[in-house]
């Protein structure tokens, strides 16, 4: 039986919202470089598959991330960052993500 996991995100395009939702996927050949990139990316978001991460980060962190990534890609390797704006829904099938995004309220 296939279980599905659904969740929504809403990153508004209004100037007062300082967050972006990004999907980062990579294909890095060299093991040492791949491990280093993986550790870097875990500082921004959480792994959803072996070479894929999701993150909801500030625009400043997004620019910082984009500045750091070119050092990890070469002619044989690639990194793709998808910036998703607006309302969206993610539907997955099979293994559920170990790190689900939760809204945290501090009182």
Specify whether the CB–CB gap between 55 and 45 falls below 8 A.
yes
In whole angstroms, give the CA distance from residue 89 to residue 106: 26
Paired tokens of 100: 């689900």
Average pLDDT for residues 85-98, to the nearest whole number? 70
Q: What is the DSSP string of 2-39?
A: --EEEEEEEE--STT--EEEEEEEEE--SHHHHHHHHH
Q: What is the pLDDT of residues 4-57, one digit of tens each?
A: 455 556 655 554 578 888 999 999 999 999 999 999 999 999 999 999 999 999
- Its pTM stands at 0.72
């Amino acid at each position: 039986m296939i279980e599905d996991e659904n969740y929504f995100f809403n990153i508004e395009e209004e100037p007062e919202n300082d967050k972006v939702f990004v999907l980062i996927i990579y294909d890095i050949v060299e093991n040492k470089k791949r491990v280093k990139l993986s550790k870097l990316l875990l500082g921004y978001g959480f792994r959803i598959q072996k070479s894929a991460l999701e993150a909801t980060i500030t625009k400043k962190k997004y620019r910082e991330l984009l500045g750091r990534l070119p050092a990890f890609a070469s002619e044989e390797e690639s990194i793709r960052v998808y910036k998703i704006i607006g309302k969206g829904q993610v539907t997955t099938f099979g293994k559920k993500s170990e790190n689900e995004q939760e809204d945290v309220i501090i009182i």
